[in-house]
Structure 1
Amino acid sequence: MIGEGEPLQQSDGPRKLDEAMEAVYTAAETVKAAAQNVADAIEAARQPGAPLDRLVRWTREAPLHAVTVAFLVGVVIGRRRS
């Protein structure tokens, strides 16, 4: 019965808080590592002669063509999902 000296809920507050803080810290570290990996991949792709470098140069040389190609790729991807 209630009031016989036994608490209704056990006091796990500090332990659960520590577990939650650890989970948040682990998630933050994972996101930082993933962001660094993406940044490294982008930097590698921007090296002279790499695909991203060629795409950037092509876009600067012919912006209207680049917009047209991007639009057509968007249409093709959009129709596949419908």
Structure 2
Amino acid sequence: MSSETFETPPQPGVAERALDTATDMSRSLGEIVGTLSAAVDRLSAVAKDARRPGTALSTLSAITREAPLASLFVAFLCGVAVARRR
């Protein structure tokens, strides 16, 4: 029989684990912010293209500016129609 003692590697302390967790969260938040920023940029570009003169969104915006109450009434009726189908 041998009398070798097996030593376990030292476990990280609370402070080290907290720093590791904070670093991981910082990286994750950075990735999330980058992804959201890219999505906002793409959405802004699509909205800008949709507002070009002659497109449907441009026409709808012009009608809404000319008659806001009538547009609100039509939107309300559309909402009621969709709600009743469900």
Same fold (TM over 0.5): yes
Instruction: Count the aligned residue pairs.
Output: 76
Consecutive aligned runs of 4 or more in structure 1 exceeding 3 Å deviation: none
Q: Secondary structure at the match of 1:12?
A: helix
Shift of 1:80: 3.8
2:56 alignment partner in structure 1: 51
Identity of aligned residues (%): 32
Unaligned runs of 5+ in 1: 1-5
1:40 alignment partner in structure 2: 45
Question: What is the correspondence of 1:1-82 to structure 2 with a 5 Å cutoff?
Answer: 11-81=16-86
Q: TM-score, normalised by structure 2?
A: 0.71
Q: Which whole-Å deviations, capped at 9, do the CAs of 1:19-51 have from their partners, x for residues lacking one?
A: 100001111111111111111111111101111
Q: TM-score, normalised by structure 1?
A: 0.74
- What RMSD over aligned residues (CA atoms) do the two structures have, in Å? 2.3
